[in-house]
Amino acid sequence: PEAITVQELANRMAERGADLVKALFKMGSPVTLTQTIDQDTAELLVTEFGHRIKRVSESDIDIDTSEDVDAPETLRPRPPVVTIMGHVDHGKTSLLDAIRGASVQSGEAGGITQHIGAYQVALPDKSKITFLDTPGHEAFSDMRARGANVTDIVILVVAADDGLRPQTIEAINHTKAAGVPMIVAINKIDKPEAKPQKVREELLQHEIIVEDMGGDVQDVEVSATKKTNLDKLLEAIQLQSEILELKANPDRAAEGTVIEAKLDKGRGPLATVLVERGTLRVGDVFVAGASSGKVRALIDDHGRQVKEAGPSVPVEVLGLSAVPSAGDPFTVVENEGRAREVAAYRQGVLDRKRTTSAPVSLENMFANHA
Ligand code: GDP
Ligand code: MG
């Protein structure tokens, strides 16, 4: 099999060479742009970047970058994925609970048990919103640092009796850095000492200009405990979502991101995955970070077994070989052999015995510069 330089591979993939070098480095294979990598490594890197590859012959691979972009006619509207951020005690958890409680069907009333770190609410017009409740600020920036940008809209919660606090400002900075639109929920307006106007003025100092002040950032006065204006907040999310025209192709192999994972004593490694495109189904073979497996069962946010999960749907996946990390990409692949290969590669322990080109190592990287 022929070897290919990192630069040539980058050209064929239409990716930046530096990004490939970075990815290889992270996986324990430091190389320079002009060094060659073997075909297996190249293939795995291509998969890692989400491109599809076709092995046209034993000795050549063809990278079809066009396949990675879903054709416009395959795209369908998908629900927005919303993360709530704000200073501690400003009411993030209360607001998430209130929204979930308000949307719970009467049959489930009294039994609002959340099973996974994300849930969906259905609006009167049947459209849906996905809320993530795991990412604190750190999780949000950690996941972003790992290349996962799952949030479409940030709800910035600011307590009207407390105003902007350090973590509020941190949240503003994270949101700006991520380029994610923001909606401000001015919470605790039931309190006599609430000063919502003061919050709007403080936001100005951070270049967050709400609509009332002539800007384009939506703000909604809410009370999580009194359940005031929750419908207005959901409407604001829906409006922002329409502006974003969020779409995904549901008819393809699923790709998503691990939003949380743990080891369950009885059920083994579990991961909550947010599907970003495609539809995940029971029986699908996948790679999640350096873990791989076959979907044994899918559990939705109500703790029910489901057969499939489409774009923007959070679902718990059973059948992993190990516990992945939050932010890890979750990719359905064609077969178990391939899954193991990609997983092993991601661990940086790919067995290179089938290759003919020189193995990539720290030594030959430095030798190259000697
Ligand atoms: P978090 O740290 O941002 O998740 O904040 P919590 O949801 O835990 O809320 C912190 C405290 O503020 C709790 O005692 C809540 O009961 C209270 N709280 C949250 N929302 C409201 C509200 O709308 N009005 C009032 N009066 N108290 C609230
Ligand atoms: Mg909380």
Q: What is the mean pLDDT of residues 111-117?
A: 60
Q: What is the distance between the alpha carbons of residues 58 and 94, in angstroms, rounded to a whole number?
A: 58
Contact call for residues 98 and 227 (beta carbons, < 8 A): yes
Helices 39-48 and 336-346: crossing angle, nearest 10°?
A: 90
Cβ distance 297 to 264 under 8 Å? no
Q: Is 133 annotated as a binding residue?
A: yes
What angle (nearest 5°) sits at the alpha carbon of residue 39, between those of residues 33 and 40?
Answer: 110
pLDDT value for 134: 60
Q: What's the whole-number mean pLDDT along residues 65-79?
A: 80
Counting from 1 in the atom list of ligand 1, the atom nearest the Cα of 88 is 2
d(CA 86, ligand 2 centre) in Å? 9
Ligand 1 atom with the smallest distance to the CA of 187 is 23
- 168 annotated among ligand-binding-site residues: no
Give, for 317, the enclosing helix (H) or strand (E): strand 314-320
DSSP per residue, 52-121: EEEEEETTEEEEEGGGGSPPGGG-EE---EEEEEESTTSSHHHHHHHHHHHHS-GGGTT-----SSEEEE
Burial class (CB in 10 A: 0-12, 13-18, 19+), 369: exposed
Ligand 1 is surrounded, with C-beta below 6 A, by 86, 88-94, 187-188, 190-191, 223-225
Is 65 within any annotated ligand binding site? Answer: no
Q: How many CA atoms, within 13 angstroms, populate the side-chain half-sphere of residue 116?
A: 29
CA 349–ligand 1 middle distance (angstroms): 47
**291-299/285-288 β-pairing:** antiparallel
In terms of Cα–Cα distance, which of 331, 321, 330, 311 is closest to 272? 330
Rounded CA gap, 125 and 80, in Å? 15
pLDDT digits (tens, 9 = 90+) for 187-228: 999 999 999 999 999 999 999 999 989 999 999 999 999 999
ipTM: 0.99
| pTM, 2 dp | 0.78
Q: pLDDT-based confidence at 358, cuts 50/70/90? A: very low
By the 8 A CB rule, do 314 and 131 touch?
no
Region 100-122 average pLDDT:
64
Q: Would you say the C-alpha torsion 170, 173, 174, 180 has a positive or negative sign?
A: positive
